[in-house]
């Protein structure tokens, strides 16, 4: 079975500071990893994904994520946070070696960027 953990329900950061939203995963085979963002009263929007290759993945709005196989982590990062980055962030995983195509989502992390 595949699973995702987002250990922090809430992350607060000051505008202009770097931000990190943590994610760890568990799959039997190789992971296909995603980050999504959800703004209030909206659906989820795709930010970035990792399937193979460079461990540092760049995505939309200046976000990036670092894949660490030994720590089974896929933390989301941004060098300088903006107030407009405040939203709910979800990490998701799919096992590439399995036949199932379903994504498993973490419980979400509410990011608040303080002006």
Partner 1 sequence: NAGVTQTPKFQVLKTGQSMTLQCAQDMNHEYMSWYRQDPGMGLRLIHYSVGAGITDQGEVPNGYNVSRSTTEDFPLRLLSAAPSQTSVYFCASSGLAGPRNIQYFGAGTRLSVL
Number of residues that bind partner 1 (CB under 8 A): 21
Minimum CB separation of residue 4 from partner 1 in Å reads 8
Stretch of 52-60, 65-73, 79-87, 103-111 lying at the interface with partner 1 (CB under 8 A): 103-111
Cα→Cα distances 78→13, 16, 31, 86, Å:
11, 10, 22, 12
47 to 76, contacts with partner 1 by CB under 8 A? 49
Count Cβ atoms below 10 Å from residue 51 Cβ, excluding itself.
13
Q: Which residue, 36 or 67, is less far from partner 1 as judged by CB?
A: 36
106 near partner 1, judged by CB under 8 A: yes
Pick one of 46, 55, 62, 68: the residue that binds partner 1 (CB under 8 A). Answer: 46
Q: How far apart are CA 32 and CA 14, in angstroms?
A: 31
Pick one of 28, 30, 45, 97: the residue that binds partner 1 (CB under 8 A). Answer: 45
């Amino acid at each position: 079975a595949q699973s995702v953990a987002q250990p922090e329900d809430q992350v607060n950061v000051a505008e202009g500071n770097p931000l990190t939203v943590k994610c760890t995963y568990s799959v039997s085979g190789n992971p296909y990893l995603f980050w999504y963002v959800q703004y209030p009263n909206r659906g989820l929007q795709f930010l970035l994904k990792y399937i193979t290759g460079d461990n540092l993945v760049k995505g939309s709005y200046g976000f990036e994520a670092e894949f660490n196989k030994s720590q089974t982590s896929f933390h989301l990062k941004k060098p300088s946070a903006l107030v407009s980055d405040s939203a709910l962030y979800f990490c998701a995983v799919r096992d590439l070696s399995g036949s199932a195509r379903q994504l498993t989502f973490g419980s979400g992390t509410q990011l608040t960027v303080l002006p």
